[in-house]
Chains A and B, each alone.
Chain A
Amino acid sequence: MNNSEEASSGYSAAAEVGLKRKRRTRFERMRIGLGKAPLSAWFGMIVVSAYVIVALFAPLFAPFGEADIFPTPYAPWGGEHFFGTDQIGRDILTRMIYGARNTMGIALVTTFLSFLIGGTLGLVAAISRGWVDQLLSRFVDVLMAIPSLIFALMLLSIFGSTISSLIIIIAVLDSTRVFRLTRSVAVNVVVMDYVEAARLRGEKLGWIMRREILPNIMPPLIAEFGLRFSFVFLTIAALSFLGVGIQPPTADWGSMVRENASLIQFAKYDMKAAMTPLLPAAAIALLTVAVNFIVDWFLHQTSGLRDDG
């Protein structure tokens, strides 16, 4: 009976087996994946791309120059200055837009650097094992025993708060977390036969790292990149807020919160003005939430993680 039904609809198992499987292009697979993305991931992606566009084309969007000073400090919202001006008369909207560029740019460079340091050392530790692994791992353990904000504060007091020292200090401190993750994912791959084969073939450390192991540990590393980025971003914002991070006249969101904080006291008289210090703070929070949404979705996609844990 089955046979006759199938025959009438023209189905043939042999034909299906014989079909040449069409391979989807990377673009097609991406589109299908995106189509299935939940609302939160879409929200995250839209927010992040909006931020990126604003950061890239900051001079086009900004009505004034980054450090232009106008005669009225603390001007109210509306009129010439959409979000008013700050304590020395700089346009808030302009500084918000340039702040996107500075804060995100610095956080991005820092995260890349920390992945370069932590990822490379993590792979080296996982591949070479033995005393190299022991030495690096114990060293990282000690560094991680100090809370990173405290450590960063201490190092900044020694090296001074320049942008380059800020980037290097946070990148080094953050690379310890990257090291841990890279090493722990990579040790599972290092024991695979194909790595052994590459070794026997006489490949050098660099080849094994880049061509054998790295492609196989990419998904967790990409997810970690998102998380580390938001962490670094928050750390830089916190340090700038404390006055020891990005220094004026460079616009950034952390110090903008601090500079305009006193406006909150006037909430009863001018609600809009009181919102001014909350704008950069909200911009920081929104970006972190958006990145977290995307990472969540990405982790679901790549590892089938369920969130009932």
Chain B
Amino acid sequence: MHPVLSTVLKRVGLGIVTLVIVSAIIFSSVSLLPGDFGESVLGQAATEDTVAAFRKELGLDEPAITRYFNWLGAAVKGDFGTSFSGRSASGVDRSRSVASLVGPRLYNTLFLAGVTAIVAVPLALILGLTAALYRNSFYDRSINAVTLTTIATPEFFVAYILILLLSSLWPVFPSLANISEATPLLERLNKIALPALTLTLVIVAHMMRMTRAAIINLLSSPYIEMAQLKGATRSEIILKHALPNAWAPIATVVAFNLAFLVVGVVVVEVVFVYPGIGQLMVDAVTTRDIPVVQACALIFAATYIVLNLIADVIGIVSNPRLLHPR
């Protein structure tokens, strides 16, 4: 078998194994619940019968392995069970299915992340390239200082400064991103401007620094020195010689940062009251709505693992040493 193919297959296999183990960890967290959880969900007035029925619904009367595979099988089909909230002691069940809670919010989160990525990726690449091109210039140094500061500051600080400047002092954008399914696209874009801008600032800082580092790392290789010695200009060297070989590390950087974006989204969604999956998860954590927490954690973890997997596969596929084995 071609070495690239076998390496990629190995990496994908490892990714799948990781996913399975991670899902097992997320699942088994339920068994760590304190014993009286049925009562705390249903309230003090719950009868023995309702608690027993609730425990049965959680499947606590079956062996863990069976429960795990039932849960995983249903989760793959998009069925994450029903939420804990909306249940009462009298046995009346007004709870909603987790899938119906997560579905629309997942779409919202993907929309926000997508818009951010469309803005952030080209911006970061251009900034990173130009910073590498004019290395150690005033431009490079100032970008460096700004990005270092953004990286070290918490997302909510950036978010509130943006709200203060762009929403409160000069009302350019709304500070609440309370969209609904009926919101038309243009209004939607206007409403998510500030959250997307916050995420962009955070992501661009990371991505730009990594792009710059990747290019500068390449610039120290012998063939670049050769190009310098034969008299090529600086932009020629970067665009014609360095960039083609830098695509792999840059693609890795992009995928890695999109994975990072998935996590950063949680805090930003809470700041702007954006109805996304991050906020759903935080709410579920406060009310200890375990099925919802599990579903959100699984979605976040799976996205993170898959994006990292893609980053690695790009790295493998574009590695010339593997593509042309001796």
A residues within 8 Å of B by Cβ?
141-142, 145-147, 149-151, 153-160, 230, 234, 237-238, 241-244, 257, 261, 264-268, 274, 277-278, 281-282, 284-285, 288-289, 292, 308-309
Contact = CB atoms under 8 A, between A and B. Distances in A.
Given A145-B305, A242-B270, A281-B157, A151 B297 contact: yes
A284 B160 CA distance: 13
A157 B293 contact: yes
Given A149-B266, A309-B217, A285 B154 contact: yes
A257 B296 CA distance: 25
Interface string B21-34: 11001100110110
B169 A145 contact: no
B140 to A, nearest CB: 10
A150 B216 contact: no
Given A147-B263, A238-B156, 17 more contacts: A142-B21, A142-B22, A145-B308, A146-B300, A153-B266, A153-B285, A154-B29, A157-B288, A244-B286, A257-B156, A264-B163, A268-B169, A277-B160, A278-B164, A281-B157, A282-B157, A308-B216
Contacts of A238: 154-156, 267
A241 B293 CA distance: 18
- Chain A residues touching B, majority SS: helix
B169 A142 contact: no
B157 A289 contact: no
Nearest to B153: A285
A261 B25 CA distance: 36
A156 B18 CA distance: 22
A141 B161 contact: no
B294 interface: yes
Interface string B283-303: 011101110011011001100
B281 interface: yes
A264 B175 CA distance: 10
Contacts of A243: 282, 286
A308 B169 contact: no
Interface string B137-164: 0000000000011001111110011011
13 contacts: A142-B22, A146-B301, A150-B263, A150-B281, A150-B300, A158-B30, A160-B288, A234-B154, A267-B169, A268-B168, A284-B157, A285-B149, A289-B148
Contacts of A237: 154
A146 B263 CA distance: 10
Nearest to A150: B300
